């Protein structure tokens, strides 16, 4: 299965689970059950994020580092650094 397909599957599953979490909150279901479903959403998003990050490193980042544009290389490194701080 392609990496893009895996990313889309994880994101679509997260969307479905998030809808379930919202419904559970609206219906005032047991907090622990809501938390468990919420953690499932977080796990799926983390998985998709990791795959997206790897795809970026393997393609965009790698291509920039192979190139001769030093300004672009620095921009790419700065982007990765910024993303790391956000996580």
Residue % of the chain over a pLDDT of 90 = 90
CA–CA gap between residue 49 and residue 52 (Å, rounded): 5
pTM for the model stands at 0.83
Instruction: Write the pLDDT tens digit of every residue in 58-69.
Output: 999 999 999 999
CATH class for the region spanning 3-86? mainly alpha
pLDDT tens by residue, 20-44:
999 999 999 999 999 999 999 999 9
Look-up of token digits 């796990």? 43
* End-to-end Cα distance, the chain: 27
Please report the pLDDT score of residue 52 as a whole number: 94
| Neighbouring C-beta atoms of residue 21, cutoff 10 Å | 20
Sequence ranges of the domains in the chain: 3-86
């Amino acid at each position: 299965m392609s990496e893009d397909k895996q990313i889309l599957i994880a994101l679509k599953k997260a969307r479905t689970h998030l809808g379930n979490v919202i419904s559970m909150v609206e219906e005032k279901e047991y907090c622990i059950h809501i938390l468990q479903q919420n953690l499932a959403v977080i796990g799926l998003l983390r998985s998709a994020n990791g795959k997206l990050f790897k795809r970026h490193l393997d393609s965009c980042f790698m291509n920039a580092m192979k190139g001769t544009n030093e300004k672009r290389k620095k921009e790419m490194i700065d982007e990765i650094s910024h993303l790391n701080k956000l996580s």
